[in-house]
Amino acid sequence: MLLSPRRIFVAALFLTAAQIAFAQTPKTVFLEELTWTELRSQVQAGKTTILIPIGATEQSGPDVALGKHNVRVKILSQRIAEGLGNALVAPVIAYVPEGNFAPPTSHMRFPGTITIPDDVFQKTLESAANSFKVHGFKNIVFLGDHGGYQNDVKKAVAQLNKSWAGSPARAILPPEYYAASSDGYAEILRKRGYRDDEIGTHAGLADTSLQLAVAPQMVRQDSLRSGPRLGLADGVYGGDPRRSSAEIGQLGIDNIVTQTVKALKAETAAR
């Protein structure tokens, strides 16, 4: 059946409008860069995994900016989401437990660190996850970049999965993410000749190299290279960051992304 010129014109208008709407949708994995209708469409199209990046606002010695974890976990989450292909990334949770107020303990002894109580943190995680469940996400994944709250995240995940029993939704904390960034990365560095007293656990060579690989502007490299060896009083725990580099940091970043994507694909394959 032949279409009239009017019907052809109307059809062309609808096609053009659809193409414009599609072109305006940004190619992004970040939820906060989408409109609610764009998000709804992506979930309906199969993007039912949401990554919740958890950072921290804490000191990392005198040569690394306070938002280290927040920037790093966002970039890592982006790469992991892109590797998965069916995932989006939630806004970074930057307020986490970091010690007590009075007297100040742990990182709270250093200006700029922000802390919240453990129970408030857990409730924040649970509330965020329940929000995403309402919106149709089935795999709610927590990626915690800081070691101090890993047990809190485990408790929140256990509580969520208990309350979600019988539903399609599931909370996931892939141990590979933090393991690859800590013990796994330390082993990579040892094989390349770096010593444990350099690698460290916080603001040492490993930690600083990871940051140089993703956000070098957050590291004060001049003072880092030329300054004396730093210690606990400076906020550097068990390491020496002076030989840090983006090159060795990239080894750790690639390993974190590879191991986490692999683990999450296996975890969600049957869902």
Q: How many CA atoms lie within 13 A of 126 on its CB side?
A: 18
The verdict on pTM exceeding 0.85 is yes
Calpha distance 65→113 (Å, rounded): 11
Span 3-59, pLDDT tens digits: 565 665 555 555 555 455 455 778 999 999 999 999 999 999 999 999 999 999 999
Residue 13 vs residues 18, 21, 145: alpha-carbon distances, Å = 9, 12, 48
DSSP 48-117: -EEEEEE-------TTB-TTHHHHHHHHHHHHHHHHHSSEEEPPPB--B----TTTT-GGGGSTT--B--
CA dihedral 44, 48, 51, 52 (to 10 degrees): 70
- Amino acid of residue 33: E
Span 108-165, pLDDT tens digits: 999 999 999 999 999 999 999 999 999 999 999 999 999 999 999 999 999 999 999 9
